[in-house]
Structure 1
Amino acid sequence: MLKTKTVTENLPKVIELGQRFDHTTPVLSSRQRGWNGIVVEQYQHLSNSFEVEFPAPSDHWLVLPLGQPVLVTQKSDDRLHESIIQRGDTILVPAGQPKYWCRREGICCAVHMHLKPEMIRQTAEASEMDTKRTGLVDCSGKQDLQLHQIAMLLLAELESGGMMGQLYVESLTQVLAIHLLRHYSTVTQTITSENRSLNHIQLQQTIDYIHTYLNRDLSLAELASVINISPTYFASLFKQAMGISPHQYVIQQRVEQAKVMLKRTDLTIADIALQVGFSNQSHLTRHFKRFTGMTPKQIR
């Protein structure tokens, strides 16, 4: 954040939602994709200015600017505070807290993420944090490049039409939730799963399930339910046991299965891609080359 100053005039008592608000609809939205615990949207506001007071949201709300620096006015302690918000800054509005802001002239491009409080609570529980003392806190203008990197990965997945699948989105969502609990909560303690691990039977059950249903759009919840533990806990323990995340392991096994089918069957590459769980042939080719250094055609 480049500069901040306090404006001493009092805030108007009531500002009708939408009265002076830029009604631009999102350029992209994940609402129709049914992502668990999170909604990701990209906005580009083109009008000169807007002023709006939001009622207390039911979800945690993250706004991550992507464009040029923009002058905004926000409410804090019944006063107005002007600040310049730029790329890399973070605006976090916790669930249950009303928010007022006014944007001046200028094009404003941003990613909005809405997170279910229940998902954050479950992540805290799985990480052995005290959920009664753990809550996200209001933040405006904090530079957080790691948070923006996570947002950009989610946005890229949205732009691709969900090419990487549900397991990938859920893995990123868990990383996002843990990052918020570490850096934007009332209790910022190290999250760890020391002295805990998957036993051999649990690990083998999970691996067998993945191989059996490799063609599915697997989710963390589905895999965790196989051994009856929480999705967040499962993701960290699986990586501890295997050295890679559940999503990376699934992709790796899909490539291995595709390699076998390319050598032993006459199925088209497009058909093989679908049978091993990739969304299309180009999706298979991209990951195949990443893991083997060759394309499916070269293997065949």
Structure 2
Amino acid sequence: MVAVNPLVIDFARKDDLLKIYPEAPLFSSDQAGWDGVQLQYHRHPPHQLAANYSKQHRIIIHARCVERSYHPPSLPMVEEMIEHRFRTTQFGGGDVTVVPANVLNSCYWSTEYEFITLSFESNTFARHTFDLTNIANVQFIPSFSKPDPLIHSIGLALKSELETSAIGSRLYIDSLTAALMTHLLRHYSSDQKLISRHQSGLSKRQLQQVTDFIHQHLEQDLSLAEIAAIVQISPSYFSTLFKQSTGLAPHQYVIQCRIDHAKQLLKQGEWSITDVALTLGFTHQSHLSRHFKRLVGVTPKAFLKSQ
């Protein structure tokens, strides 16, 4: 099962994927402009994955077998190899395999099935978690497939955003990435203890700096990294502190601020719903309407009539 000369795969290069997979992914985040994490959604027939090293850390989320009209879906029998250790198992929906960068791995699956791969560079992990641990170079621990509900749900949420053209904003993608990095640090690294801190939120000055910046840039597709940089905190730790201070995740807070401002603009009666949506950074009118109804209880059109 192990090749004499294992391949070196760069997941940032499309051509490299065809060195180990029989077909290109069904879709990927290559053109979505995501910061730090790359998603690919695969569907492949039975296949022997060539032994390889990846330049990026890699997470494989095993989705399901492909259903055929003549054959109900079943769980594939799989032989995994990580660093010359072998295991034969039956993948369950939502099982997760973690393969760190530069770790030898291979796999054989017995039936056509679908899966998600999340890949990211080592510096992405370091940037997200630099103040969550005292260890300068945290080492990932490889893991054969096992259930991990949190990674599974994050993977599906990222896939859903990609399928809907990422209308949820870059900040939402960043928040999911930050949660993923913290979880990996806690459960799949050589340093599984986070730094103990007594801080129970941002200071008043920090919170004011951050909220002022958000209100001044509501129309922009803000990133978690640029907001966290205002108070010089890593994105993952910033997300935790911000939620402790406001009760909302950063992306939830930005949506709330946009909807509050939308109500003010609609009350003035000088703006169309479409203009309000585009002015406040929503992709289109229906994007505004979805969040408006969720938070206000009525659609923007009904809100206008009530005024």
Q: TM-score, normalised by structure 2?
A: 0.86
The answer on 1:233 being equivalent to 2:237 is yes
Change (3 A) 1:225 1:188: closer
Could you tell me how far 1:22 is from its partner in structure 2? 4.2
Distance 1:95 1:264 in 2: 55
Could you tell me how far 1:117 is from its partner in structure 2? 1.3
CA contact (8 A) 2:129 2:235 kept: no
Identity %: 33
Match of 1:13 in 2: 4
1:87 to 77, 93, 98: 93
Distance 1:191 1:31 in 2: 34
Gaps of 5+ in 2: 9-16, 66-74
Match of 2:62 in 1: 65
For residues 187-235 of structure 1, the C-alpha deviation after alignment (integer angstroms, 9 at most, x for no partner) is 2224654236422222112111111110000111221233333323322
- Further displaced range: 66-75 or 173-182: 66-75
Distance 2:235 2:129 in 1: 12
Match of 1:169 in 2: 173
One-letter identity of the residue aligned with 1:37: G
Please give the residue correspondences for 1:21-170 in structure 2 after superposition, counting only pairs within 5 Å: 22-45=21-44, 47=45, 49-68=46-65, 69-76=75-82, 78=84, 80-104=86-110, 106-132=111-137, 134-170=138-174
CA contact (8 A) 2:6 2:53 kept: no
Change (3 A) 1:94 1:19: closer
Aligned length: 287
Match of 2:71 in 1: none
Change (3 A) 1:165 1:192: farther
One-letter identity of the residue aligned with 2:207: L
* Partner-residue secondary structure (3-state), 1:33: coil
* Partner-residue secondary structure (3-state), 1:255: helix
One-letter identity of the residue aligned with 1:30: S
Q: TM-score, normalised by structure 1?
A: 0.88
Could you tell me how far 1:159 is from its partner in structure 2? 0.7
Distance 1:208 1:103 in 2: 52
CA contact (8 A) 2:201 2:243 kept: no
Match of 2:14 in 1: none
One-letter identity of the residue aligned with 1:165: S
